[in-house]
């Protein structure tokens, strides 16, 4: 694991010698919250009142996500159009829907942004983001991201994506052995199937689930499998536990011999938008505009239970190129642009437990920047 860690650091340090990575970003400076370029003025935004911001320290699973009125915050077209490239691991997953809808409904265009979504896995995207070859990444602060920042990448998590509905059972499932029940499972020594492997943000909720059942991240064996193979391996005994995503868990829910042990914490998003140096420092106006369009899309189309609207589900299935019945089979995601306090600390602790990162945790000032979405909704401290 040390080879992967120090490889990431070496790559980061090499990239820092390029011109694109020389923009300074002092998290302690007055301008740091908005990414540089002087202190930015934050003005009230029509349609975004007190409900458009929640205290990051509020980790309540029943927290109501921040919301503005539909259609707000209103567009503020940039004086000069900008091209923006966002990398994402997929275009068909439900958590990418706000970006797809923003494109289709021309919400980005209303801000003067010509946005391209480019399919790239996170490890391939990180050096491109740090160099400025792409502008943003729709992913998560995974171990590879933390190692890159530790090595010198100027990257911040600037907006969140979603948290699960309380009815969702996306998460850790186990095949029960003789004498076991859902509240009495011994996880130490189990073989777990996962399509992501070590270093993913699921390490954090997985650690919580394992901790309640006599296991730990260092006490299980990981078997990385293709997306179509995880469930099959769990069913045929190739693995005895697995992390099942929407809507795959529906195939074992309620069937004898299987138990759900836990999933992503309610009310706490674990992914979203990551910015590189261009939108953090060099063109903060474009960075705020991009988040303003995203937030407006959430408020207009994803504010509540969007799957209660049959017409919208049909539209969304077509846009995502996914099966409509599959999309309807799981609860709506709770779309949420806000980042909770301490999430990257908890993620880094889980990465250390897996052995994929080393050293002290990076402070939140080096991993998170909430100021851009706060400016978009007009929140002033």
**Of 263, 281, 311, which marks where a domain is finished?**
263
> How confident is the model over 338-374, as pLDDT tens digits?
999 999 999 999 999 999 988 889 999 999 999 999 9
What is the arithmetic mean of pLDDT over 34-62? 86
Please give the model's pTM, rounded to 2 decimal places: 0.86
Look at residues 263, 284, 315 and tell me which one is the last residue of a structural domain.
263
Q: Do 47 and 191 fall within a single domain?
A: no
Side-chain half-sphere exposure of 296, counting CA atoms within 13 A: 25
Give the per-residue pLDDT at 227.
72
Mean pLDDT confidence for 99-127: 96
Helices (H) and strands (E) in the chain, counts: 13, 12
Residues 134, 22 share a domain: yes
Query: What is the number of structural domains in the chain?
Result: 2
Q: In percent, how much of the chain has pLDDT > 70?
A: 90
The pLDDT, as a whole number, for residue 29 is 32
**Domain carrying residue 34:** 2-164+269-377
Query: What local confidence, expressed as pLDDT, does residue 212 receive?
Result: 81
Q: Give me the pLDDT at residue 198, please.
A: 82
- Give me the pLDDT at residue 38, please: 52
Per-residue pLDDT at 210: 86
Share of the chain above pLDDT 90, in %: 69
pLDDT reported for residue 220: 85
Looking up residue 330, the CATH number of its domain turns out to be: 3.40.190.10
pLDDT in tens, 249-272: 988 999 999 999 999 999 999 999
Domain boundary residue among 232, 263, 294?
Answer: 263
Crossing angle for the helix pair 343-354 and 143-151, nearest 10 degrees? 100
What is d(CA 1, CA 203) in angstroms, rounded to the nearest whole number?
A: 16
- The number of beta carbons lying within 10 Å of the beta carbon of residue 44 is 10
Q: What pLDDT, on a 0 to 100 scale, did the predictor assign at position 13?
A: 35
The reply to whether 359 and 232 lie within a common domain is no
Q: What is the pLDDT of residues 131-145, one digit of tens each?
A: 999 999 999 999 999
User: Alpha-carbon distance 180 to 66, whole Å?
Assistant: 41
Q: Which helix (H) or strand (E) holds 5?
A: helix 2-15
Residues 119 and 104 in one domain: yes
**Angle ∠(75,78,79) on CA atoms, nearest 5:** 135
pLDDT tens, position by position, 155-198:
999 999 999 999 999 999 999 988 888 777 888 888 988 876 78
What pLDDT is stored for residue 211 in this prediction?
83
């Amino acid at each position: 694991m040390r080879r992967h860690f120090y490889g990431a650091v070496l790559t980061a340090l090499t990239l820092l010698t390029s011109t694109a990575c020389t923009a300074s970003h002092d998290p302690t400076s007055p301008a740091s919250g908005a990414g540089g370029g002087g202190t930015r003025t934050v003005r009230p935004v029509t349609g975004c009142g007190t409900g458009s911001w929640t205290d990051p320290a509020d980790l309540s699973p029943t927290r109501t996500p921040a919301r503005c009125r539909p259609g707000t915050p209103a567009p503020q077209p940039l004086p000069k159009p900008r091209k923006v490239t966002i990398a994402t691991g997929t275009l068909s997953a439900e958590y990418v829907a706000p970006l797809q809808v923003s494109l289709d409904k021309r919400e980005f265009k209303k801000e003067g942004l010509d946005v391209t979504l480019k399919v790239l896995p996170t490890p391939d995207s990180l050096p491109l983001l740090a160099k400025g070859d792409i502008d943003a990444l729709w992913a998560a602060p995974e171990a590879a991201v933390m190692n890159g920042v530790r090595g010198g990448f100027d990257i911040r998590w600037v907006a969140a994506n979603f948290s699960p509905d309380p009815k969702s059972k996306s998460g850790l499932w186990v095949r029960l052995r003789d004498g076991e029940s859902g509240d009495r499972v011994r996880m130490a020594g189990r073989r777990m199937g996962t399509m992501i492997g070590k270093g993913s943000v699921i390490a954090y909720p997985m650690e919580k689930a394992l901790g309640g059942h006599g296991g730990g991240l260092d006490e299980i064996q990981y078997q990385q499998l293709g997306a179509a193979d995880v469930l099959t391996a769990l069913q045929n005994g190739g693995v005895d536990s697995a992390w099942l995503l929407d809507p795959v868990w529906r195939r074992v829910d309620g069937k004898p011999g299987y138990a759900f042990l836990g999933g992503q914490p309610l009310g706490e998003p674990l992914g979203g938008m990551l910015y590189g140096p261009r939108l953090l420092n060099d063109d903060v106006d474009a960075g705020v505009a991009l988040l303003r369009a995203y937030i407006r899309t959430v408020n207009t189309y994803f504010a509540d239970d969007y799957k209660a609207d049959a017409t919208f589900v049909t539209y969304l299935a077509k846009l995502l190129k996914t099966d409509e019945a599959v999309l309807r089979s799981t609860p709506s995601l709770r779309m949420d642009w806000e980042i909770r306090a301490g999430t990257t600390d908890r993620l880094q602790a889980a990465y250390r437990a897996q052995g994929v990162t080393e050293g002290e945790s990076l402070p939140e000032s080096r991993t998170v920047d909430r100021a851009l979405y706060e400016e978009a909704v007009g929140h002033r401290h």
